[in-house]
């Protein structure tokens, strides 16, 4: 059974940093692209970032480019999202996502609140 | 990059059928999409991948009541024999070489 477990969310002040992690199990982690999708309170889904499984290429939404960094550790079946220079508009539930072509598995999400 | 357009809301009666639509932007009518269900307070759940041909592949455990179809740039999700726990937000998703895109979501109310 595929499982994706996020951790690292919490309350952070504007301009601060936070690191999210996603622990994966139930599939061959090194063979799949992974990523993050967020959902602001009461809003829809917004793609944040993707990391490929072939060469580790990374892709970002314009809204986070230059501030967020995605990474993966295939030896530990984990992916991470380093979030710097956080803004109020980054407040959201962040979901870990496993991709084939589409998103075919979701984690339960971790809440990030950016507020003073 | 592609844009996905969904109606903001839909409603149908318990036991009936409903067809939700996701429309791809001009120049992207051949794209494959996915449908996801998000029940209130829950994480999204993958329902199916849907091709422009109308062929679809459902995720594990998705009931037979859920099916997909396509017509031009439109991608449809049909739910038959509506149940109360089908009341959810439904999102479509697609991708290109570097980005992923979600539709704005359709809130389905089961009457």
**Secondary structure (DSSP) of B78-104:** EE-S--GGG-SEEEEEEE-SS-EEE--
For A83-102, the pLDDT digits (tens) are 999 999 999 999 999 998 88
- Give pLDDT, residue A101: 83
Q: pLDDT by residue (tens digit) across B3-61?
A: 999 999 999 999 999 999 999 999 999 999 999 999 999 999 999 999 999 999 999 99
**How many angstroms separate the CA of residue B30 from the nearest CA in chain A?**
15
Q: Which residue of B has its CA nearest to A44?
A: B104
B102 interface with A at CB cutoff 8 Å? yes
- Confirm or reject contact between B44 and chain A (CB < 8 A): yes
pLDDT digits (tens, 9 = 90+) for B57-102: 999 999 999 999 999 999 999 999 999 999 999 999 999 888 999 9
Contact A17, A72 (CB under 8 A): no
Contact B18, B10 (CB under 8 A): yes
Tokens of B93: 């998703």
Taken as a whole, chain B contains a residue count of: 111
For B32, which of A35, A37, A101 is closest by C-beta distance? A101
User: Chain B residue with minimal CA distance to A36?
Assistant: B100
Taking all residues of chain B, what is their mean pLDDT, rounded to a whole number?
Answer: 96
Task: Give the integer Cα–Cα distance in Å for A21 and B55.
Answer: 35
Helix (H, G, I), strand (E, B) or coil at B28: coil
Which positions ≥6 away from B102 have C-beta within 8 Å? A37, A44, A45, A46, A47, B4, B91, B92, B93
Q: Are B45 and A109 within 8 A, CB to CB?
A: no
Within 8 A by CB and 6+ apart from B8, the residues are B104, B105, B106, B107
Q: So what's the pLDDT on residue B20?
A: 98
Give the pLDDT confidence of A24-82 residue by residue, as tens digits. Answer: 999 999 999 999 999 999 999 999 999 999 999 999 999 999 999 999 999 999 999 99
User: Nearest-5° angle of CA B91, CA A23, CA A113?
Assistant: 60
Q: Do A103 and B101 touch (CB under 8 A)?
A: no
Angle at B75 between CA B70 and CA B78, to 5 degrees: 90
Q: Is A92 on the interface with B (CB under 8 A)?
A: no
CB-based contact, A20 to chain B, within 8 Å: no
Taking the C-alpha atoms of residue A35 and residue A97, their distance in angstroms, rounded to an integer, is: 5
Find which of A49, A102, A109 to mutate to test the B interface (most B CBs within 10 Å of its CB): A102
Q: Show the tokens assigned to B18.
A: 């409903």
pLDDT for residue A18 is more than 90: yes
């Amino acid at each position: 059974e595929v499982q994706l477990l996020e951790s690292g969310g919490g309350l952070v002040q504007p301009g601060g940093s936070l690191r999210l992690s996603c622990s994966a199990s139930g599939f061959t982690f090194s063979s799949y692209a992974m990523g993050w999708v967020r959902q602001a309170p009461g809003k829809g889904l917004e793609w944040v970032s993707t990391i490929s499984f072939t060469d580790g290429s990374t892709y970002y939404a314009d809204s986070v480019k230059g501030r967020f960094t995605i990474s993966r550790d295939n030896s530990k079946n984990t992916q991470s999202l380093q979030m710097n220079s956080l803004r109020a508009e980054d407040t959201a539930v962040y979901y870990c996502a496993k991709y084939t072509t589409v998103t075919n598995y979701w984690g339960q999400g971790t809440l990030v609140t950016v507020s003073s | 990059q592609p844009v996905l357009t969904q109606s903001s809301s839909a409603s149908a009666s318990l036991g009936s059928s409903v067809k939700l639509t996701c429309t791809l932007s001009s120049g992207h009518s051949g794209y494959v999409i996915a449908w996801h269900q998000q029940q209130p307070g829950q994480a999204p759940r993958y329902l199916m991948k849907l091709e422009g041909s109308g062929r679809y592949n459902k995720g594990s455990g998705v009931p037979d009541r859920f099916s997909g179809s396509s017509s031009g740039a439109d991608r449809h999700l049909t739910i038959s024999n509506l149940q109360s726990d089908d009341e959810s937000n439904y999102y479509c998703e697609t991708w290109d070489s570097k980005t992923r895109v979600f539709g704005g979501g359709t809130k389905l109310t089961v009457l």
